[in-house]
Amino acid sequence: MIPATLIALLATAAPAEPTSQRVLLKAAAAAAPSCRATRVDDQLVRVALFSPESEACPVAKVGDDVILLRELAQALELGHLQRSPRAAAPATRPDMDFTPALDRLIATRLLIQEAREMRIDADPKFRAAVDDFKASRLRAMLQREAVRGVKPDPAEVERLYREAVREWKIKSILLDKEDAAKAFQAALKAGERFDALAKKFVDGKKAKGGGPAEFVPPKQLLPEIKEALRGAKRGVPVGPIRIASGWVMLRVDGVRYPRGDAAAREQARAQATARQEREAVRRFYLSLVARYAKVDEPLLKRLDLEANGEKGFKALLEDRRPLATVRGEKPLTVGDLAREVSMKFFHGLESPIQQRRVNREKDDAFERLLGARLFAKEASARRLDARPELRRPVEEYERGLAFDTFVERVIAPDVKVTEQDAQRYYEQHKDEFTAPQMYKLDGLAFRTLPEAQAALDKLKAGTDFAWMQSSAPGQVEPEKRTLQLDGRTLSASRLPHALAQALAGVRSGEYRLYAPSGAEAWVVRVVDQTPPAAQPYVDAREHIAKRLWNERLAVAMNDYAGKLRKAQPVEVLVTGVSP
């Protein structure tokens, strides 16, 4: 599969819509191994465009290289995904033309062959990148085998689920001033009851809230409140708790664990499974250490990477004392470990050493280094590098890297965009550079319109938004909302039409009620808003230059590939499409 960026750069025509059509190939294609085709006549065979049974069928030959049907299918799928979502999908038709997509693949393969002719793929940095990719895939394959059959502990899943869905029944008040909060706390210690005291402070305009206790899910709680609740006991007042808008005093009147939250249950299962998998991989690593390696544990334990400051660390980079030996390989030395740790602190080691942060990295860095060698050794013993699930992605990665490197070294340096080019484009496409109305929005989502209206009335009367967010009853859980605002900046053109209408003429800091039919009711807060305005050239310049450069690069690549195609034998095996 050619990387997405490459197909995007080479694209010159709208791609065909992926379909369930069948492709007609020259009969010679059926001779390829693993190509399952149905013969039409002496010259043609028919195969499914999107099918594992036909993915290995050749659709073109570029010199000695073969382009397979799966590559064409992937190019068509990718092109479909890259099309603007507003563009109308072309109708499926028997004579659908796959030539543009196939031509892009042929052009890409020609440039890759040219890269190999120039020995780009023999460069040590190139080979190292391929080796690193291969090693990463091998480790992933071994890890998948290590965790095969791992299942989460049901008791752990239940514990994590209860932690995630636990709701506290809370009675609370928000006090504006610290003196009032301390006075409230002192009155409690003197023996006054929380309910009566809360009413007294609210009536005296020294606090807000104080309504009946409500069950509040954890996702609606401020982090400060959630932290204070961890050690809270039923019936015992907690606070004062400092939050952005004041001080909170609260009391927990109960706790419950709602059932039936499928998303929370699945997340708990995933967390428990992930922990079990980490432990399985850890056990696998230790088994490899026991099988292949000998570790100098005393030396590793006493090794101080912070001794004598940065000067001492630099000396360790040349230290050849072996920390571990792996059968049949060079030892892993102190210097190897020091270099691995130094990569974590690429801005320098002086400050991390002074802050005692370097030694903390020692054990993890050692296991990364030793683990890489052990996993490579085990992968070799199991002959994993001969498996198709490794060979194919490595080949695809190497081709993509050769293409990228060739374009970067040979074609891109000659692609230029001048200031005059960018200014001319700006003048010809000014309508593209008018910024629409923008809103930075936050909001509260409620299950019913009356609940939303009640919250809006309180907010307009001066109730703090963060306090309302954490305490207002009837709110819809964040993951179940049809909108996700949360302080995001959004274009008016991308908002639901009814919401855009509700926000017409709004000013920063105001609230609007938004209640789409059949959905939740929203109190929308306009944190900020920016009216529509033409984007100055100086702001659009970088975007324009990048667009023009990419367009010219695509033209330059196609021109280069066109010249190669005239000199290189290319055979196209696709002849058409049948229903």
pLDDT of 480: 80
Alpha carbon separation from 227 to 19, 40, 234, 407, 574 (Å, rounded): 54, 71, 15, 54, 65
Task: With a cut of 50, say whether residue 263 has pLDDT above it.
Answer: yes
Task: With a cut of 80, say whether residue 471 has pLDDT above it.
Answer: no
Confidence class for position 36, pLDDT limits 50, 70, 90: confident
Which comes out higher in pLDDT, residue 134 or 494? 134
Confidence class for position 365, pLDDT limits 50, 70, 90: very high
Confidence class for position 77, pLDDT limits 50, 70, 90: confident
Task: With a cut of 70, say whether residue 78 has pLDDT above it.
Answer: no
Task: With a cut of 70, say whether residue 92 has pLDDT above it.
Answer: no
Task: With a cut of 90, say whether residue 459 has pLDDT above it.
Answer: no
Phi, psi dihedral angles at 11 (to 5 degrees): -65, 130
Of 85-89, 103-107, 142-146, 466-470, which gets the smallest average pLDDT? 85-89
Confidence class for position 20, pLDDT limits 50, 70, 90: low
pLDDT of 17: 45
Task: With a cut of 60, say whether residue 374 has pLDDT above it.
Answer: yes
pLDDT of 79: 54
pLDDT of 96: 57
Q: How many other CB atoms sit within 10 Å of the CB of residue 369?
A: 19
Query: Using CA atoms, how far apart are residues 387 and 370, in angstroms rounded to an integer?
Result: 24
Task: With a cut of 60, say whether residue 84 has pLDDT above it.
Answer: no
Which comes out higher in pLDDT, residue 431 or 415? 415
Which comes out higher in pLDDT, residue 94 or 209? 209
pLDDT of 290: 94
pLDDT of 2: 36
Query: Using CA atoms, how far apart are residues 28 and 450, in angstroms rounded to an integer?
Result: 72
Q: Average pLDDT of the chain?
A: 86
pLDDT tens-digit readout, 385-421: 888 889 889 999 999 999 999 999 999 999 999 999 9
pLDDT of 93: 44
Of 1-5, 118-122, 514-518, which gets the smallest average pLDDT? 1-5
pLDDT of 151: 93
State yes or no: cis peptide before 154, omega within 30 of 0. no
Task: With a cut of 50, say whether residue 3 has pLDDT above it.
Answer: no
- Pick the most confident of 49-58, 191-200, 276-285, 488-497: 276-285
Please compute the mean of the pLDDT values over residues 563-578 and round it to a whole number. 88
pLDDT tens-digit readout, 128-173: 999 999 999 999 999 999 999 999 999 999 999 998 888 889 898 8
Calculate helix-pair angle for 388-406, 99-117, nearest 10 degrees: 80
Secondary structure of 74-124 as H, E, C letters: HHHHHHHHHCCCCCCCCCCCCCCCCHHHHHHHHHHHHHHHHHHHCCHHHCH
Report CA torsion sign: 133, 135, 141, 143.
negative
Please compute the mean of the pLDDT values over residues 171-198 and round it to a whole number. 89
pLDDT of 208: 86
Q: How many other CB atoms sit within 10 Å of the CB of residue 309?
A: 12
Transcribe 193-208 into DSSP letters.
-HHHHHHHHHHTTSEE
Residues in the chain: 579
Of 71-80, 204-213, 326-335, 339-348, which gets the smallest average pLDDT? 71-80
DSSP character at residue 568: S
Please compute the mean of the pLDDT values over residues 237-248 and round it to a whole number. 88
pLDDT of 578: 66
pLDDT tens-digit readout, 284-340: 999 999 999 999 999 999 999 999 898 999 999 999 999 999 988 899 999 999 999
Report if pTM > 0.75.
Answer: no
Which comes out higher in pLDDT, residue 179 or 517? 179
pLDDT tens-digit readout, 439-453: 899 989 998 888 889
Of 95-99, 125-129, 147-151, 549-553, which gets the smallest average pLDDT? 95-99
Write out the two tokens for 104. Answer: 């892009």
**Domains defined for the chain, CATH in brackets:** 4-117 (no CATH), 167-256 (3.10.50.40), 296-381 (no CATH), 437-531 (3.10.50.40)
pLDDT of 10: 44
Phi, psi dihedral angles at 236 (to 5 degrees): -100, 120
